[in-house]
A = this chain, B = another copy of it.
Amino acid sequence: MLSADLVERLLAGDRRALGKLITLVDDGACEGREAIVRLFPKTGRAHIIGITGPSGVGKSSLINAVVRNLRVKKKTVGVVAVDPSSPFSGGALLGDRIRMQDHFTDEGVFIRSLASRGSLGGLSRSVNNVIRLLDAFGRDVIIVETVGAGQVEVEIVKVAQTIIVMMSPGYGDVIQMLKAGIIEIGDIFVINKSDLEGAHRTVEGLMSVLELNQQKEGWKPPIIETVAIGQKGISELVDTLERHRDYIQKTGVLSTRESRRIENELIQLVNEQVYEKITRCDTGEGESLRTIVSKVLSKQLDPYSAAQRIISALSQGKYKF
């Protein structure tokens, strides 16, 4: 099937077309790219929410509860789940999906796990483009879930407009998360399983860390205590999500974040095309990367002069298109 047909069907609300396009985008297929080019003007309406935190804090249960709340309000939802750090993610995510089965039969909810195993850049672009598909499909809210507290997770969750960082008593050492740079990306903090012993200490630990990070002006990340499986704290969370979106829209934070993301995306695309140009079999008049590397290996060239040589050939149009 041509991607043009799929694009039309997606715009007409066909879930199967959406699913197929997500697969094409996630596989890095040309058709996926074409679809993004065509659908791009239809994007920009959804509220994109990122959720991260160590495994075991109850992210799936929280998403389940948030989705239920949003559905009562007649909002449509897309959920994208990513576990970049785990080679076993397929299985783990399948388990999570089962916990979200409340919504499997609801047309207003679309859930998808991403299986991408590529580079960090490839994965975050894939997620970004899947969000665009869901956005063009008309979802009001798109939730991106990622596991863990590493560099990769931090990067991927940045595709979101509002970022929820989750902890729960006993999991999610605040200092570890601080070190991993995850505290500073949180717009809203959720302490789940707040009925468990130690919840109070977790909240206090987090509060003192947040005070250290506190800016004088602007959004002060709230800490919300939830018991996701009991739906406790969920309407407060959903209200806060909406309040944050209003805030970033009104203050211009949203468009600043958006332009930074697009800037990164463009740079990455340019880098990839440059790479392709200098590594292809037929490089035109330009020296291939392989040739230049061998000159550096034999010490005929140092790395800096070698890079300069590539740049010069590139801007003289010596590499073939």
Interface of A: prevailing SS = helix
Binary interface profile of A, 278-321, with partner B (CB < 8 Å = 1, else 0)? 10000000000100111011010011111110110011110101
Chain B residues positioned under 8 Å from A321 (CB to CB)? 315
* A37: contacting residue among B85, B267, B302, CB under 8 A: B302
CB distance from A1 to the nearest CB of B (A): 21
Given A85-B179, A273-B307, A299-B41, A289-B317 contact (CB < 8 Å): no
Q: Does A86 contact B (CB under 8 A)?
A: yes
Task: Count this chain's copies in the assembly.
Answer: 2
The 5 closest A-B pairs by CB, nearest first: A269-B307, A40-B302, A315-B317, A37-B302, A271-B271
Nearest chain-B residue to A296 (Cβ)? B262
Given A316-B317, A319-B315, A297-B262 contact (CB < 8 Å): yes
Q: Does A259 contact B (CB under 8 A)?
A: yes
Besides A40-B303, A87-B179, 11 other A-B contacts (C-beta < 8 A): A40-B302, A151-B152, A255-B297, A258-B297, A266-B289, A266-B306, A269-B306, A270-B310, A274-B274, A315-B317, A315-B321
Given A151-B151, A315-B314, A315-B321, A266-B296 contact (CB < 8 Å): yes
Chain B residues positioned under 8 Å from A303 (CB to CB)? 36, 40, 262, 265-266, 269
